[in-house]
Amino acid sequence: MLGSEALDYELSRIPDATRRNESMALLSLAAERLMITEDMELMSDLLEKDGIAAMDAVHLAIASCAGADFFVTCDDKLLRKSRASIHLQCQVAPLLGIIAEILK
């Protein structure tokens, strides 16, 4: 699991303190915390042109540029749009399907 400054930002905006603290505790288990690079910004721009929302594009670009094997999401729209993109270098998997993907 990878963390990033983008995840830190999004989690800090969770209004419910309990949910925010639980989410941050989970993120603290990440093996690495990534900072956004110029390559990630460029890829994020390409992903936005593919119709992916700005923050989703940032998260996908970070995962892809960092060499993540999987980007896990429960957002069906993001899953569909990301799978149609030619710019990603990681596999996007649904949350409930990640176990099957890992066991392949």
Mean pLDDT by 10 residues, the chain (104 residues): 94 96 94 95 96 96 94 92 90 85 70
Q: Are residues 13 and 50 in the same domain?
A: no
Residue 40, Cβ neighbours under 10 Å: how many?
Answer: 23
pLDDT at residue 95 in the model: 83
**Alpha-carbon distance values, 91 to 11, 31, 58, 65, 80 (Å):** 23, 19, 15, 12, 12
Total domains in the fold of the chain: 2
Distance between CA atoms of 64 and 104, rounded to whole angstroms? 20
Question: What is the three-class DSSP state of 95?
Answer: helix
Task: Please tell me the predicted confidence (pLDDT) of residue 50.
Answer: 92
pTM score, whole prediction: 0.88
- Residue 42 and residue 28 share a domain: no
Exposure of 64 by Cβ count < 10 A (0-12 exposed, 13-18 middle, 19+ buried)? Answer: buried
Q: Evaluate whether 4 touches 17 at the Cβ level (below 8 Å).
A: no
What is the domain extent for residue 16? 1-34
Question: Is 69 found in the same domain as 94?
Answer: yes
User: How do 2-4 and 32-34 pair as beta strands?
Assistant: parallel
Which pLDDT score, from 0 to 100, does residue 92 have?
92
**DSSP letter (8 states) at residue 97:** G
Do 49 and 75 belong to one domain?
yes
